[in-house]
Structure 1
Amino acid sequence: MEILASRMLLRPADYQRSLRFYRDELGLAIARDYGGGTVFFAGQSLIELAGHGTPNAGGSLWLQVRDVYETQKELTARGVPIAREARQEPWGLHEMHVVDPDGVQLIFVQVPEDHPLRRDTRELAK
């Protein structure tokens, strides 16, 4: 199986409320607005907010940022409630949690320079 692209699809209970959250509060750039929904850029992935279908929100979004502490300051300045403040986890990543209007957990992650996720796997093959 070959996966060409991926995105997180959310069907919120209140589309307009969630649209304001992702567009205005988080400040995500819009990739496409197709009338029945909006697709946002999220790093190397996409988040599609569908204004149609049965509301079905859940799960978590893992969003890598350059500096989670600066991201926390930016979101706090925009009035976004921080569910769990940024801190370094036992596994080495720096994480902060925010919850969207439908209860979806957004995990903002900073990967330190020396973390294994930054390892060049080509070096391991030698």
Structure 2
Amino acid sequence: MHGFTLLQRKGEYAYLGRDSIFIGAIEVPSSETIEEKARYRQPDKGVEIVIEVDDLEKERDFIVSKSWKLAADIHSQPWGLRDFRLVDPDGYYLRFTTHSPRKDGKGLSET
């Protein structure tokens, strides 16, 4: 997925990374059928995955180079961040965004 590498896997938990982007995910067992689960993979179900990145243009260019269509190209938002959006092949709504500032005014990626 987007050039990420599996860094760690423990049971149902997976930790992925690429450059300075890291994602943790856990699979939750369910008795629902594939068809029932598919209902949750629609953009109108209220699920939005937000991924903060260091270089928004680089991420957008990488995704577009893989022939994925954007739902919205890079745009400045009223809350002060820039982002772009897409629906992945499984139907998940993804928002790639610049880093949110911390309360001390520094970006989250800064230590």
The alignment's TM-score, normalised by the length of structure 2, stands at: 0.62
Q: Give 1:6's aligned residue.
A: none
Q: 1:40 to 1:79 in 2, by over 3 A?
A: farther
Are 1:84 and 1:97, in contact at CA under 8 Å, matched by a contact in 2? yes
Query: Where do 4+ consecutive residues of structure 1 move more than 4 Å?
Result: none
Compute the displacement of 1:40 (Å).
Answer: 4.3
Question: Which segments of 5 or more consecutive residues in structure 2 lack a partner in the other structure?
Answer: 106-111
Compute the displacement of 1:102 (Å).
Answer: 2.9
Is 1:120 the counterpart of 2:98? The answer is: no
Question: What is the percentage of aligned positions where both structures have the same residue?
Answer: 20
Structure 1 counterpart of 2:48, one-letter code: S
Q: Say which of 24, 34, 39 aligns to 1:46.
A: 24
Is 1:101 the counterpart of 2:89? The answer is: yes
Are 2:6 and 2:14, in contact at CA under 8 Å, matched by a contact in 1? yes
Q: How many residues align?
A: 91
The alignment's TM-score, normalised by the length of structure 1, stands at: 0.56
Is 1:68 the counterpart of 2:56? The answer is: yes
Q: 1:82 to 1:41 in 2, by over 3 A?
A: same
Q: 1:99 to 1:40 in 2, by over 3 A?
A: farther
Question: Which segments of 5 or more consecutive residues in structure 1 lack a partner in the other structure?
Answer: 1-21, 122-126
